[in-house]
């Protein structure tokens, strides 16, 4: 390439990254004069330009304050006003608009035709738009950020360190560090640290290192995001039909699927589904009436909830029976009431009176060796009952019992698998993995505590997820997929161990899960070798579980925001409110 004698053709204005190596003495002198004019036309200290900076002659730069860090540049036809401060190695590419109070960290690349607009107009109806007051909260961009072409960043937004924003995005909310975002409004596509393969392919294909061209999200994730968005729209539109279908005429109770008997769980599943997809209680009754019906089911003596028509439950040695509907009702009724803005009418007395000694004896006697799912489910119900007791302002259990639970769990977790229980010849790791989900859901996750041996758990779960007895087409069911994705999701909050494998597994299962939806009827639970569960017929239980599964799968691959819903009941991702740590 021949070096021009002057910059009349606009080479450096449009390609300022070439200036440092290719500019002639005359061109450097012209740039020095350009910078002197900027410095001379400002108040004392309001313009500071670091070493090696470049400001295009054709750029409209009229700042109140302009501080450019070393080796930063403003390219052709950029429009810069307000209070603009950058770190070193920042680039404002051609036709970019940066206005208002804008702070850039070190190494920020802003693609061509993008706009960072750190101000806004009021919209009050009592004044014409041109007379509305102007407000400004400012825009902050962290270090090592790539903002692609034709991006708009609105006032008040903070973009964290190491983010990448795809072409055409409209950033209306803060982006956490390491986020790869795209869309209008911009949504998180993935974590940049977990996309090393995609980043390498982009670099190998000649991605624009200057930032003048925008990054393009991995096509696989973009397609999957589109599928998720379409699914969520369909599910919301068809949720009323599903709820109507499972409302039993005459009794006003809910059935899991047409033809089934009404159950307490079906009513709770209806509440969860309506809250997720419609943002309200099932429309057949006022919210207060839903809550009143569920509250009335609780036995005031034990605090447990029997099935419709069943006798009051008989507590076990440590407060709860090992099996049966009443143990699960501690979860589903409690969380349904919580979603309805209500709560149990009575403490779960059967757990509130449990002593530490009795609890430890019961934990030791649970069937960990061959029925680890049942053992884990018991822990889930007991810990959840303790949580509801705390929410009601009573003792969770007898003094020291809750602490004894976590102490026992920590000291009995297998350091080789991270789990409780053992594989069996009949089902491999199924019992221990499924039991792990139930146990940690009600204990560590619900109380916001880290799980022990998180990396070993991931190893065990990923190994189990390859077992063809449970994870091939025609054999997967909601329980088995949930019991894999939740541990992977939970442990991913503590470690990046085997993150790519976990994400790959989640993406594959996510695509398959979306295809299970039956129009107007929801999700089927799926086949069960032992005949338990609702099976292949769509209904409330399958729908409630798969909606949560889809969210967890999507969140692990960085696409949960596309769904527009977030579980707040049994499968909530955050610790339950007011769950006090033992």
Hey, which bits of 132-177 come out as E strands? 134-135, 139-141, 145-147, 152-153, 158-159, 164-165, 170-171
Which residue among 67, 113, 121, 130 is the active-site one? 121
53-56-61 Cα angle (round to 5): 95
* Cβ-contact 177, 160 below 8 angstroms: yes
Give Cα separations from 244 to 54, 167, 258, 275, 281 (angstroms). 66, 43, 10, 15, 13
Count other Cβ atoms within 10 Å, centred on residue 491: 24
Q: If 0-12 CB within 10 Å is exposed, 13-18 middle and 19+ buried, where does residue 532 land?
A: exposed
How far is residue 62's CA from residue 497's CA, in Å, rounded to a whole number? 49
Sorted by sequence, the CB contacts under 8 Å of residue 116 that are 6+ apart come out as 96, 97, 98, 99, 100, 102, 110, 139, 141, 153
Q: Parallel, antiparallel, or unpaired: how do β-strands 115-118 and 152-153 relate?
A: parallel
Alpha-carbon distances, residue 353 vs 273, 298, 318, 541 (angstroms): 34, 17, 9, 32
Measure Cα distances from 82 to 61, 62, 98, 131, 219 in Å: 9, 8, 8, 20, 38
Give yes or no for a contact between 253 and 261, defined as CB atoms under 8 angstroms apart: no
At residue 109, the 3 state secondary structure works out as strand
121 is catalytic: yes
Give yes or no for a contact between 119 and 134, defined as CB atoms under 8 angstroms apart. Answer: yes
At residue 573, the 3 state secondary structure works out as coil
Active-site residue numbers? 121
């Amino acid at each position: 390439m021949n070096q021009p004698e002057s910059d009349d053709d606009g080479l450096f204005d449009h390609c300022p990254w070439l200036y440092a190596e290719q500019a002639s003495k005359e061109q450097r002198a012209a740039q020095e004069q350009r910078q002197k004019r900027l410095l001379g036309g400002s108040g004392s200290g309001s313009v500071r330009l670091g070493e090696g900076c470049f400001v295009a002659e054709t750029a409209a730069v009229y700042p109140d304050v302009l501080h450019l860090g070393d080796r930063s540049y403003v390219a052709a036809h950029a429009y810069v006003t307000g209070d603009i401060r950058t770190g070193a190695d920042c680039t404002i590419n051609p036709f970019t608009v940066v206005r208002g109070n804008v702070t850039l960290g070190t190494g920020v690349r802003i693609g061509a035709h993008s706009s960072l607009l750190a101000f806004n107009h009021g919209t009050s109806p009592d004044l014409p738009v041109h007379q509305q007051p102007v407000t400004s909260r400012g825009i902050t961009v962290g270090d090592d950020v790539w903002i692609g072409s034709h991006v708009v960043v609105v006032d008040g937004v903070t973009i964290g360190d190491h983010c990448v924003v795809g072409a055409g995005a409209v950033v209306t909310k803060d982006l956490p560090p390491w986020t790869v975002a795209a869309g209008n409004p911009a949504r998180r596509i993935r974590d940049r640290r977990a996309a090393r393969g995609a980043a390498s392919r982009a670099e190998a294909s000649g991605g624009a290192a200057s930032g003048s061209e925008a990054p393009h999200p991995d096509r696989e994730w973009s397609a999957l995001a589109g599928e998720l968005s379409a699914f969520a729209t369909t599910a919301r539109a068809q949720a009323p039909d599903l709820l109507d279908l499972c409302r039993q005429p005459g009794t006003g109770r809910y059935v899991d699927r047409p033809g089934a008997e009404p159950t307490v769980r079906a009513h709770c599943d209806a509440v969860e589904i309506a809250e997720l997809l419609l943002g309200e209680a099932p429309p057949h009754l006022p919210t207060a009436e839903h809550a009143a019906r569920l509250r009335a089911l609780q036995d005031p003596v034990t605090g447990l909830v029997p099935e419709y028509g069943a006798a009051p439950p008989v507590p076990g040695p440590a407060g709860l029976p090992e099996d049966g509907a009443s143990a699960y009702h501690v979860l589903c009724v409690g969380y349904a009431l919580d979603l309805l803005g209500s709560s149990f009418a009575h403490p779960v007395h059967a757990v509130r009176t449990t002593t530490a000694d009795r609890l430890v004896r019961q934990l030791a006697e649970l069937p960990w060796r061959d029925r680890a799912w049942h053992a884990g489910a018991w822990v889930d119900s007991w810990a959840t009952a303790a949580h509801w007791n705390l929410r009601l302002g009573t003792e969770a259990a007898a003094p020291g019992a809750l602490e004894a639970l976590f102490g026992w769990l920590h000291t009995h977790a297998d350091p080789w698998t991270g789990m409780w229980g053992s594989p069996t010849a009949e089902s491999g790791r199924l019992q221990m993995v499924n039991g792990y989900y139930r146990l940690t859901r009600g204990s560590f996750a619900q109380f916001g505590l880290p799980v022990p041996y998180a990396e070993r758990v991931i190893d065990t779960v990923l190994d189990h997820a390859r077992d063809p007895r449970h994870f091939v087409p025609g054999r997967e069911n909601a329980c088995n997929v949930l019991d894999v994705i939740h541990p992977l999701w939970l442990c991913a909050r503590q470690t990046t161990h085997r993150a790519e494998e976990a994400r790959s597994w989640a993406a594959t299962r996510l695509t398959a899960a979306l295809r299970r939806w039956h129009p107007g009827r929801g999700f089927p639970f799926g086949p069960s070798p032992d005949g338990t569960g609702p099976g292949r017929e769509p209904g409330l239980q399958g729908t409630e579980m798969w909606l949560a599964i889809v969210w967890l799968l999507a969140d692990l691959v960085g696409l949960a925001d596309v769904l527009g819903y977030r579980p707040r009941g049994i499968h909530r991702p955050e610790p339950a409110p007011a769950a006090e740590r033992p």
